[in-house]
Structure 1
Amino acid sequence: MGGSGGGRGGGGGRRRRRGRAGVMSEINVTPLVDVMLVLLIVFMVAAPMMTVGVPIDLPKTQAQELNSQTQPITVAVTPEGVIYVGEDVVAEADLISTVSALAVNGTEERIFLRGDTSANYGSVMRVMGILSGAGFTKIGLITEREPG
């Protein structure tokens, strides 16, 4: 039992040291990766909920997505013909006054028109006609991208 080093595996109990214990210059990225993964999961769950809250079954197309710098005004038409501006129900007669009150840039404001797949085509076109008749020229019809 009488070996030197007291169980340290040889070497006579000597340790090499470069003076004092040096500063560790490595970055521990494990906490950063953990935080980023948690944020990724949170945004993946929250992103679908950030759309306007009117449940509409949008038609599918192969058109490219629009790139918009500002938040547009969203007008939706349900299958029953009910008109929403944002999440508020609006009568057809009050549509222009409601949209004009929200339009920061006047008639140059971008308006997204969302029409349910089973909504009457005439209802959606009537809303579009009312908006364009009031002078709004930047009206976009919103669809969902076809899979594939």
Structure 2
Amino acid sequence: MSMGSLSDSDEDDFNPEINTTPLVDVMLVLLIIFIITIPVLNHNIKIDLPHASSKVDKVKPENIQLAIDADGQLFWDKELLDQSELQARIASAALKEPQPELHLRAERLTPYEKIAQVMSAAQSGGLTKIGFVTEPGKH
């Protein structure tokens, strides 16, 4: 009993290696097609364009600085403000174009309820951009 050698003539000549020649042929054809078509896609007419210096006039929105101290007092751009005036000022600021950003500064000991009330007033007044201002951490 023989263990079956690779040179038996009874078996079909099975070669387990992948024939890469057709793959290389296909890749070369694709490469030639791309080399021919890319210059056609980039067809530009060379013209001398005039030079002008113009800048887009982009108006930056103003920032509203709203501070809340530990006692819950509100300061609109360093001016003491009470809760009833806050709604009116937020409504008038929301009508400006471009709409200003509300930068909210709160002391560390400020009750969260007061911050939540200010955020709710800003949302109901129509201000869409609210940012929290913090001190950089010291490590």
Question: What TM-score do you get using the length of structure 1 for normalisation?
Answer: 0.48
Could you give the per-residue CA deviations for residues 1-38 of structure 1, whole angstroms, max 9, x where no partner exists?
xxxxxxxxxxxxxxxxxxxxxxxxxxxxxxxxxxxxxx
What 5-or-longer segments of structure 2 have no aligned partner?
1-59
Q: 2:118 aligns with which of 121, 127, 132?
A: 127
What percentage of aligned pairs have identical amino acids? 21
Are residues 87 and 118 of structure 1, via their aligned partners in 2, closer, same or farther at CA, if it must alter by over 3 Å? same
How many residues were matched structurally? 80
Aligned position for 1:146: 137
Ranges of 4+ aligned residues in structure 1 off by more than 2 Å: 98-108
Alpha-carbon distance in 2 for matches of 1:141, 1:117: 12
Aligned position for 2:80: 89
What RMSD in Å do the two structures reach over aligned CA positions? Answer: 2.1
Larger relative contact order, structure 1 or 2 (CA cutoff 8 Å, min sep 6): 1
Deviation at 1:128, TM superposition (A): 1.0
Are residues 110 and 144 of structure 1, via their aligned partners in 2, closer, same or farther at CA, if it must alter by over 3 Å? same
Aligned residue type for 2:113: G
Larger-gyration structure (1/2): 2
Aligned residue type for 1:78: D
Deviation at 1:141, TM superposition (A): 1.0
Alpha-carbon distance in 2 for matches of 1:142, 1:109: 15
Q: Secondary structure at the match of 1:75?
A: strand
